[in-house]
């Protein structure tokens, strides 16, 4: 049995529950029967629902978890990766790139990596965002990346079209949406909308990775946060 997010229903960390499930994935019941969240994750977490088979819910493509594996193995070795999977309670020998896996597999891997390395999950997500751009994306669909624009500004402005093309390659993908506003010669506002929680720092890493790709150092700060009650996340990007 797999426990996954129930989209749209959110429970703050520490909310008391009755008979907390013993297999709650990344939701860890405490001794007093409350949800403490998974390890160091601090973003409000969603209510959980159960499904019998992952085939009933298409979460993230396996290539996401493959990319986490690649990043971990390159920086800490294969032994660390196997330990992270063990700590996360994930019994998968090889993630298949074009197969769907529950979102909570990815969250649990990040949480376990955070615990093992004693590194805040936010830092791991940011590093993963950079890795995604500079390794996963460039190696997996480099032509599409290079067609996105000739510079950082153009690429960010073209992000909506970019994701439309990515969905044509991965039809079951549930990507976020990006829009930009207040565009100037050296800055813009990046609007990020997604049904997934806790990934703002991944976006920070993505933008920093794009800055490196275009050899244009970029600074990104979060102006509005969905976790704090905003309609969506908004970032100020300057270069």
pTM above 0.85, yes or no: no
What are the distances in angstroms from CA 68 to CA 23, 64, 77? 23, 7, 12
Query: Among 142, 178, 153, which residue's Cα sits nearest to residue 163?
Result: 178
Average pLDDT value for residue range 176-184: 94
Between CA 67 and CA 154 the distance in angstroms is: 26
Tens of pLDDT, residue by residue over 106-148, are 999 999 999 999 999 999 999 999 999 999 999 988 888 988 8
Indicate if the pLDDT at residue 95 is higher than 50: yes
Measured CA to CA, the distance from residue 143 to residue 165 in angstroms comes to 11
Domains and CATH numbers, the chain: 1-119 (no CATH), 126-238 (3.90.1520.10)
**What is the tens place of the pLDDT at every residue in 6-55?**
333 333 333 333 333 333 333 333 333 333 333 333 333 333 333 233 33
Q: How confident is the model at residue 211 (pLDDT cuts 50, 70, 90)?
A: very high
């Amino acid at each position: 049995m797999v426990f996954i997010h129930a989209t749209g229903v959110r429970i703050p960390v520490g909310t008391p529950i009755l008979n907390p499930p013993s297999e709650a994935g990344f939701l860890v019941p405490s001794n007093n029967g409350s949800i403490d969240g998974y390890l160091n994750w601090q973003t409000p977490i969603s209510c959980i629902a159960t499904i019998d088979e992952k085939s009933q819910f298409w979460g993230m493509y396996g290539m996401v978890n493959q990319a986490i594996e690649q990043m971990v193995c390159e920086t800490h070795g294969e032994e660390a990766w196997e330990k992270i999977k063990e700590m996360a309670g994930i019994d998968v020998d090889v993630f298949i790139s074009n197969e769907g896996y529950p979102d909570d597999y990815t969250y649990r891997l990040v949480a376990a990596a955070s615990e093992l390395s004693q590194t805040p999950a936010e830092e791991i997500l940011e590093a993963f965002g950079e890795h995604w751009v500079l390794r996963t994306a460039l190696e997996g669909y480099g032509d599409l990346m290079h067609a996105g624009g000739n510079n950082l500004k153009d690429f960010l402005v073209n992000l909506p079209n970019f994701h439309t093309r990515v969905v044509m390659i991965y039809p079951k993908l549930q990507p976020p949406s990006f829009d930009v506003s207040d565009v100037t010669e050296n800055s813009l506002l990046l609007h990020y909308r997604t049904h997934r929680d806790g990934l703002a720092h991944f976006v920070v890493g993505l933008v920093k990775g794009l800055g490196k790709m275009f050899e244009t150092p970029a600074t990104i700060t979060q102006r509005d946060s969905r976790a704090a009650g905003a309609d969506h996340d908004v970032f100020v990007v300057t270069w």
